Amino acid sequence: MECRVCSGKLHGFADFGRQPLSDHFVLPGDPAPEFFFHLAVGVCEDCSMAQLLEEVPRERMFHESYPYLSSGSAVMREHFEGVAKRLLATELTGPDPFVVELGCNDGTMLKTVADAGVRHLGVEPSGGVADLAAARGVRVRKDFFEAGVAAAVRAADGPADVIYAANTLCHIPYVDSILSGADALLRPGGVLVFEDPYLGDIVTRRSFDQIYDEHFYFFCAASVRAMARRHGFELVDVERLPVHGGEVRYTLARRGARTPTPAVAALLAEEEARGLTELATLRDFAARVAANRDDLVALLTGLRDQGARVYGYGATAKSATVLNYCGIGPDLVAFVCDTTPAKQGRLTPGSHIPVRGPEAFADPYPDYALLLAWNHAEEIMAKETAFREAGGRWILYVPEVHLVGA
Ligand code: DWN
Ligand code: SAH
Ligand code: ZN
């Protein structure tokens, strides 16, 4: 197997077997067979990029009915408002600034930019969510960002001061086309800023469910710096973020354009000291993940045998990995509650657990709730205090299987 970034040799370190498309929520009775692929991860011995071993064609994942909405979490809405304000205050201060967002989804971040009257463009291939962004007054182009699209945007709108992407760059295997596109689109002092789940947090928190079809790369400072350098960019800043279970925001500038901040050297040194991208570290992670699976299956099976009622909370894309890897179906988790309209009334991919609206959670409360949206634990537990007051307990499976409440 060859590295998708540098063609170096890949070494597999974790295997989750046959998995469905994580955001393909199945209509009950739909006769069309589901698409499955082999979910396994490896690391490159040359550039140290962790990545999937099999690539799912992008049109199967990102299309008209892609269901995920960035606006589904209050914490994330606030986060993106903060991102927009900061970009406006730091990078978009010149005359007639221009910002491009890759994977703008429903416009949660760009809405603040649009409201400030600043020139912007969202590039978003998933038509349904792009329409929601447009309805919020955000200018969107329905396309997969890549080199050709970058050139067309540059020709039509001129150079960009910032290209920003949240939870999107790690979804794009064809990173050479993204970076050459960024080179074509950015003005000389412009920056590419992106934030994605951090490999360091995935290993520490054992959050193996960050691994699914859409997440192709698992970035860290070392691998991002190597990737940037192949394309004439330098990693000039890193910032750890608490959202989505631990992310890093990377800033790339053309080589020589900006001096890297001390945070870059510090994170590189930390990764080196803990051997983050060494095969032994990653194989140890995989072994611990298998133990979590055994513990979770034992807990849920025991609860079923006792006659306890268990619901799932949050029909996340991540949960496809947990549910299918652990073989959890409707016999163990009766249904999953989720606020996303496009997921309700459907079945979870592969595992076929019904998805219902949030009102079903209290009608009546279950004895236990499997928190599949564990990255939003604080927000969800704060709004579901009555569940715990009624004696309910949360089941978490990261960093290990444990109960919260009662
Ligand atoms: O990277 C990605 C991230 C940004 O979003 C994409 N590949 C797909 C998606 O991943 P996810 O589905 O794992 O993301 P979330 O943000 O963990 O999904 C949370 C789910 O839980 C949503 O379906 C909304 C739902 N939810 C809810 O029902 N009640 C969320 C909150 C906060 C709530 O209170
Ligand atoms: N930025 C949002 C959405 C993340 S979900 C947030 O953080 O909440 C990932 C998004 O990337 C999806 O909306 C998907 O349609 C989009 N995407 C996938 N490939 C892309 C590409 N090549 N260019 C731009 N967007 C892409
Ligand atoms: Zn490589």
Does the beta carbon of 315 lie inside 6 Å of ligand 1?
Answer: yes
Which residues sit opposite 404 in a β-bridge?
Answer: 394
For 243-398, list the strands marked E by DSSP. Answer: 247-254, 310-313, 336-337, 355-356, 368-371, 393-396
> What would the mean pLDDT of 342-359 be, rounded to a whole number?
98
> What would the mean pLDDT of 87-101 be, rounded to a whole number?
97
Please give the distance, rounded to the nearest whole angstrom, from the Cα atom of residue 169 to the centre of ligand 2.
8
Ligand nearest to the CA of 21: 1
Q: β-strands 217-218, 310-313: how paired?
A: unpaired
Is pTM beyond 0.85? Reply is: yes
Contacts of 57 (CB under 8 A, 6+ apart): none
Give, using CA atoms, the residue closest to atom 8 of ligand 2.
70
How far apart (Å, rounded) are the C-alpha atoms in residues 228 and 230? Answer: 5
Please give the distance, rounded to the nearest whole angstrom, from the Cα atom of residue 186 to the centre of ligand 2.
19
* pLDDT surpasses 80 at 406: no
Type of residue numbered 187: R
Instruction: Determine the pLDDT at residue 130.
Output: 98
How far apart (Å, rounded) are the C-alpha atoms in residues 64 and 61? Answer: 10
Tens of pLDDT, residue by residue over 33-85, are: 999 999 999 999 999 999 999 999 999 999 999 999 999 999 999 999 999 99
Please give the distance, rounded to the nearest whole angstrom, from the Cα atom of residue 134 to the centre of ligand 2.
15
How far apart (Å, rounded) are the C-alpha atoms in residues 44 and 223? Answer: 9
How many Cα atoms occupy the beta-carbon half-sphere of 375 within 13 Å? 25
Instruction: Determine the pLDDT at residue 144.
Output: 98
Q: What atom of ligand 1 comes closest to residue 318's alpha carbon?
A: 13
Tens of pLDDT, residue by residue over 286-314, are: 999 999 999 999 999 999 999 999 999 99
The best mutation among 61, 196, 214, 316 to test binding of ligand 1, ranked by most ligand atoms within 8 Å of the C-beta, falls on 316
> What would the mean pLDDT of 220-243 be, rounded to a whole number?
98
Tens of pLDDT, residue by residue over 95-137, are: 999 999 999 999 999 999 999 999 999 999 999 999 999 999 9
Does the beta carbon of 167 lie inside 6 Å of ligand 1?
Answer: yes
Type of residue numbered 52: L
- Report CA-CA distances (Å) from 97 to 119, 172, 257: 6, 26, 18
Spatial CA neighbour of 116 closest among 142, 76, 157, 87: 87
Instruction: Determine the pLDDT at residue 357.
Output: 98
> What would the mean pLDDT of 224-228 be, rounded to a whole number?
98
b/e code 4-33 from CB counts within 10 Å (16+ = b)? bbbebebeebbebeebbbbbbbbeeeeeee
Does the beta carbon of 238 lie inside 6 Å of ligand 1?
Answer: no
Instruction: Determine the pLDDT at residue 265.
Output: 98
> What would the mean pLDDT of 367-388 be, rounded to a whole number?
97
* pLDDT surpasses 90 at 212: yes
Q: How confident is the model at residue 323 (pLDDT cuts 50, 70, 90)?
A: very high
* pLDDT surpasses 90 at 181: yes
Q: Average model confidence (pLDDT) for the chain?
A: 98
Q: What atom of ligand 1 comes closest to residue 170's alpha carbon?
A: 1
What is the token pair recorded at 264?
A: 């870059």
